[in-house]
Chains A and B, each alone.
Chain A
Amino acid sequence: MDFFSPVIAGFGVVFQPENLFYCLLGVTLGMLVGVLPGLGPAATIAILLPVTYNIEPTAAIIMLAGIFYGAQYGGTITSVLLRLPGEASSVVTAIDGHEMARQGRAGSALGIAAIGSFIGGTVAVLALTFVAPLVAGFALDFGPAEYTALALLGILLVSTLGTGSTTKSILMATIGLLLAAIGQDPLAGTSRLTFGSDQLLDGIDFVIVAMGLFGVGEILYSLESLRGKSAPAPSVGSVYPSRKDISESKGAITRGSLVGFVLGILPGGGATMSSMVAYAVEKKAAKHPEKFGKGAIQGVAGPETANNAAATSSFIPLLTLGIPANATMAIMFGALLLQGITPGPLLVQEKPDLFWGVVNSMYIGNVLLLAMSLPLIGIFVRILRIRAAILAPLTILITMIGVYTVRMNVFDMYLMVGLGIVGYLMKKVGFEPGPLVLAFVLGSLLESSFRRSMRLFDGQLTGFFGQPIAATLLVAILLIITVPPLTRLLRTSRRKAEA
């Protein structure tokens, strides 16, 4: 029973009143940001980073995790009712979900989404409970060479699998790595790229980068449509799905759980991609694929289950390898670092309270969310009427004062606003901040493990191929870089040959 005793002890941690409170606070905030278009979970978590600094670590991470998976529930509401996805991961839900709403079945769509999300989330936590310690155990032997390859693979996968153009994402990643290099050299202590400023000597704090690019950037971007009227709150009807709805969605929920869990673990996967894949899977598996786009309940159940399962399983690489799988996890990584905790394979053993407390809080969080999305949905629908013009100044002030409180330093405010302007401009020209933030987080790990490997291998790059795990990962990297352009070349040449 060695395995289960820390797991059970973790429930003891969750049921402490303070942690239950932060779990409830987190999932409620998550529902809210999910409902309110404009501010995503990554931005919200980024903005709240300084606030969490003053909370006990386990409670802080429980709350931030709640925001993340809670947003997956909330994002559905606007997708279905208004065809305005609150989150990128709910974009595909809007297709059939909104169609159902137009046919007067909004309640069924929301109800099945909530139930699917609950099942997907819970299945993923269960699987996480068993998979995470295995991965962590496997990763205990990782040395600098493995970490170099792993970090590089993580950055590349996020860049190539992301939603935007690959070249743009890779450029963003290099900018993130460059920003991470600012400050003292980790080994020699020489100051690098600081322009002689003492303020930059310690490097740029991750909190500032995340809050600037995600928080301030998104708020500035939302200002352009500030004067839009608030949406009228539509009627929902009964949110309890009928027996027919449930029997039609059973398969979709099962497949969605699986797709979401697997894709969530992969770097660059995460909630958005898994919801899209789940939609495609449902369309393939359907007996009547022609119903998709016209209000097929499977088109809601599959993606909504998957995005929740993925939101949960994307914690695995973060908590076991110390490698965040997507931008939100990168910010979560920052939150852990801020608390003085380095996520990695040792976390399960060294901080079982934190690890199992956070994991088990997800069961409770999912139950709370199910309760909020079924009986209390009316309240959240009414929140849709809060105008952006009121929300924007409040969030920006929390951000501004928040960043100040981290180091009690006004310079950080300037830096964050500067990065916020960059983030706004990036959005305008079609660059994603995700790869930048992720690369920034992994930058110092990548550099220090690369340099340590180089010392081990006496400056020979080929040394990496002497380590089986590192070599496998590097081969994977090579394939990621070379295969897509090659297939594109092949396809165009074949098309030319056919023409």
Chain B
Amino acid sequence: MTSVTPEEEEGLLVPPSPEYARRQNIVAAIIPLAVGVIAGIMSWNLGIGTLSNPGPGLWPLAVSVAMVVTAAVLALRSGPTGEEETFTREALIVVVAAVSLLGYAFLFERIGFEIPTVALLVLWLKGLGREGWRMTAIISLGSTAALYLLFVTGLGVSLPHILPF
């Protein structure tokens, strides 16, 4: 990745084209619509009962129906609202960040909190934030120690760890 030029940076603020916004709005309405339909079917199968003696599925079914109806209204009124934002190349950073967080959770209990914490800090500071090496080293080691002090010493919770404490 190259560094972002001022023009590119300004380019981030350009609102999406109407077609892009419309497409985005339709997708954003269809996903909850689908979730609502699935949740509705699952609730139905749980048993509805009656209003005076409701089954476990009645409440989630009512909520699912409301969800499907509002999502359908949104899908039909998909015109641009000015609230949409384009997914630019910068969104890749978010993908990397999200994956790194899942990786962090994966390693956390397996190898203790120390190594994943330092690794995540290095990745975010150096890889995503383009800080210098010196800054990265100081902050990642310093904050791992600070987090240890906050949670283990300060709040007395035990975290999975490899260093004896």
Q: Which residues from chain A sit less than 8 Å from chain B, CB to CB?
A: 51, 54, 164-165, 167-168, 170-171, 174-175, 177-178, 181, 185, 188, 190, 192-193, 216, 220-221, 223-228, 387-390, 392-394, 396-398, 400-402, 404-405, 408, 410, 413-414, 417, 420-421, 424-425, 427-431, 447, 450-451, 454-455, 457-461
Contacts and interface: CB of A to CB of B under 8 A. Distances in A.
Given A227-B129, A430-B81, A167 B93 contact: no
B129 A390 contact: yes
A402 B124 CA distance: 19
Contact of B94 (A181, A388, A424): A424
Contacts of A458: 52
B120 to A, nearest CB: 7
B98 A394 contact: no
Given A192-B60, A223-B93, A417 B105 contact: yes
A410 to B, nearest CB: 5
A389 B129 contact: yes
A466 to B, nearest CB: 15
Most buried by B among A393, A402, A457: A393
A376 B31 CA distance: 49
Interface of A is mostly: helix
Given A404-B108, A447-B59, A450-B59, A224 B88 contact: yes
A123 B48 CA distance: 50
Given A220-B94, A400-B108, 19 more contacts: A167-B74, A171-B74, A178-B60, A178-B64, A224-B12, A224-B90, A224-B93, A228-B9, A389-B129, A396-B124, A405-B155, A417-B98, A428-B85, A429-B83, A429-B84, A430-B81, A431-B28, A454-B51, A459-B50
B91 A170 contact: no
A393 B59 contact: no
Most buried by B among A220, A431, A458: A220
B94 A459 contact: no
A401 B105 contact: no
A392 B73 contact: no
A459 B156 contact: no
Interface string B60-84: 1001101100110110010001011
A410 B109 contact: yes
A192 B28 contact: no
A171 B52 contact: no
A192 B129 contact: no
Contact of A397 (B51, B91, B117): B117
Contacts of A51: 150, 155
List the 4 shortest-distance A-B pairs measured between CB atoms, nearest first: A430-B83, A389-B129, A459-B52, A393-B124
A401 B63 CA distance: 33
Give the size range of B's interface with the partner.
35 or more
Contact of B39 (A178, A220, A428, A460): A178
A473 to B, nearest CB: 19
A51 to B, nearest CB: 6
A400 B121 CA distance: 12
Interface in B118-132: 120-121, 124-125, 128-131
A181 B83 contact: no
Contacts of A447: 59
A188 B60 CA distance: 14
Nearest to B80: A430
A428 B87 contact: yes
Contacts of A175: 32, 35, 67
Interface in B11-44: 12, 24-25, 27-29, 32, 35-36, 39, 42-43
B12 A429 contact: no
B151 interface: yes
B46 interface: yes
Contacts of A171: 29, 32, 67, 70-71, 74
